[in-house]
């Protein structure tokens, strides 16, 4: 029976530790990322003209390296 009390006490200490860690992370701003990197990669920051320039430069360097 005393083992149950020890296990309950240990689980309560661990739960309180996790609660304190969660509160600390919220207060320090860990969850304030409104624009996550996983969504950021879905949006293209370059304009079509910039893409065309990059493609042209890439093909130019490929043909230049072949010679």
Q: Where are the domains of the chain?
A: 2-66
User: pLDDT by residue (tens digit) across 31-47?
Assistant: 887 777 677 777 766 66
pTM of the model: 0.50
Q: Is the pLDDT of residue 67 over 60?
A: no
The percent of residues above 90 in pLDDT, for the chain, comes to: 40
Write down the pLDDT at residue 32: 80
d(CA 58, CA 52): 10
Q: Distances in Å between the alpha carbon of 34 and those of 24, 28, 30? A: 19, 15, 11
Q: Is the pLDDT of residue 27 over 90?
A: yes
């Amino acid at each position: 029976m005393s083992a149950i009390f020890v296990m309950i006490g240990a689980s309560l200490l661990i739960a309180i530790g996790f609660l304190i860690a969660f509160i600390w992370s919220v207060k320090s701003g860990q969850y304030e990322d409104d624009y996550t990197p996983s969504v950021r990669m879905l949006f293209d920051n370059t304009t079509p003209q910039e893409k065309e320039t990059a493609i042209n430069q890439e093909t130019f360097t490929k043909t230049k390296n072949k010679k």
